[in-house]
Amino acid sequence: MGMRRKARELAVQTLYALDFAEIGTEFKEYDLLNQYPEILDQLARRESIDASSPVFAFAEELIKNTIINLDDLEAEIGKHSENWSVDSIAHLDRHILQIATYELIHTDTPPAVVINEAIEIAKKFCSEGSGSFLNGILDSVKKDLQETALGRGLG
């Protein structure tokens, strides 16, 4: 397994664990940003990933930037998840979508790589139909970003 996939998996697991943390609604972003480091550290140690490693650094980058951009990411996902509200999407599926949408919009990672990684992570952690569900939404996000030239890696 590649370093970046391991980091993406760690990011998904951290965001999922945050779903069960004590988070207030008034300062949600602040609370999430303050609580994720401890969870990420625990998960990384469990996987024998050193906090100074590139895997840890990339996971932290994905988590932090997903949290900071969460409202925009969920709005983008919502535009493409026909017949599904973002809140009704299974937690793990939603976190994979959030991270992948962040990467599509804000990084130079090729869209095919982002979408493939999301599908592979879904195969590992989610239900049987998750891969095709995520593929449909992310492909729609990718096409929309290409049409509006918003994504960095979509040139």
Q: What is the pLDDT of residues 37-69, one digit of tens each?
A: 999 999 999 999 999 999 999 999 999 999 999
Give yes or no for a contact between 111 and 104, defined as CB atoms under 8 angstroms apart. Answer: yes
Amino acid code (one letter) for 114: V
A 10 A CB-CB count for 60 gives: 20
Enumerate the CATH 1.10.940.10 domain ranges in the chain, comma separated.
72-155
Predicted structure pTM score: 0.91
Architecture of the structural domain at 72-155: Orthogonal Bundle (1.10)
Separation between Cα atoms, residue 26 and residue 97, nearest integer Å? 24
User: pLDDT digit of tens for each residue in the chain (155 aa)?
Assistant: 689 999 999 999 999 999 988 766 666 788 889 999 999 999 999 999 999 999 999 999 999 999 999 999 999 999 998 877 888 899 999 999 999 999 999 999 999 999 999 999 999 999 998 999 999 999 999 999 888 876 555 55
Tokens representing 45 are 């140690």
76: Cα within 13 Å, side-chain hemisphere? 27
